[in-house]
Amino acid sequence: MAYSEKVIDHYNNPKNVGTLDKASKSVGTGLVGAPECGDVMRLQIEVDEATGVIKDAKFKTFGCGSAIASSSLATEWLKGKSVDEAVKIDNMDIVEELNLPPVKIHCSVLAEDAIKAAINDYRKKNGLEELVFEEKGVH
């Protein structure tokens, strides 16, 4: 199976690899997937408390090239968005942007789950109610 150029580019030059201080109140961390399933994503956002805008995003991913590319792309999209906008990122946008084949759609779902988990972690830390999301259940 050949990878799309965009997947290869994110794999070779991943954006925003790294770790934010997960103890910080302005940082939300989402850890999704499982080692047994062959992919684990950790996505972190740092929110500007005054504006509610995501000023930084970092990821680390254990997984195939498509999983790495999906999380790398997600961090790029998150930066500069408000938390409310970030919630709306849909896995199919990632599929489209990266030209993921059907067997790799679960990578995009995982990235969406990671975004939502990070947002909920941030909300929890700041005394806000956690959002309830519909199960995508593709993976």
Partner 1 sequence: MLKLPIYLDNNATTPMDPRVLESMIPYFTEHFGNAASRNHPFGWEAEEAVDYAREQVAKLIGADPKEIIFTSGATEGDNLAIKGVFEMYASKGNHIITANTEHKAVLDTCKHIEKLGGEVTYLNVKADGLIDLKELEAAIKPTTILIAIMYANNEIGVIQPVKEISTIAKKHGVLFFTDATQAVGKIPVDVIKDGIDLLTFTGHKMYGPKGIGALYVRRKNPRVKVTAQMDGGGHERGMRSGTLNVPGIVGFGKACELCRLEMEEDTKRISKLRDKLENALLQLEEAYVNGSREHRLPHVSNISFKYVEGEGLMMGFNKNIALSSGSACTSASLEPSYVLKALGLGDDLAHSSLRFGLSRFTTEEQIDYTIKAISETVLKLREMSPLWEMYKEGIDLNTIEWAHH
In contact, 54 and 78? CB cutoff 8 Å:
yes
Q: Are 74 and 63 in contact (CB under 8 A)?
A: no
CA pseudo-torsion sign 107, 111, 116, 120? positive
Tell me the three state secondary structure of residue 119. Answer: helix
Among 55, 79, 123, 139, binds partner 1 (CB under 8 A): 139
Torsion angle, alpha carbons of 108, 111, 116, 117, to 10: 140
Using CB under 8 A, pick the residue from 5, 22, 24, 34 that binds partner 1. 34
Candidate ranges 65-73, 74-82, 83-91, 122-130; the one touching partner 1 (CB under 8 A): 65-73
Binding piece for partner 1, criterion CB under 8 A, among 31-39, 75-83, 92-100, 120-128: 31-39
Question: Under a CB-based contact definition with an 8 Å cutoff, are residues 50 and 122 in contact?
Answer: no
Among 5, 22, 49, 103, binds partner 1 (CB under 8 A): 103
Two tokens at 9? 């580019």
Using the rule CB under 8 A, which residue among 38, 52, 124, 131 binds partner 1? 38
Whether 64 is catalytic: no
Q: Which residues are catalytic?
A: 37, 107
Site residues, partner 1 (CB under 8 A) = 3, 8, 11, 14, 17, 19, 31-42, 60-65, 67-68, 103, 106, 110, 113, 139
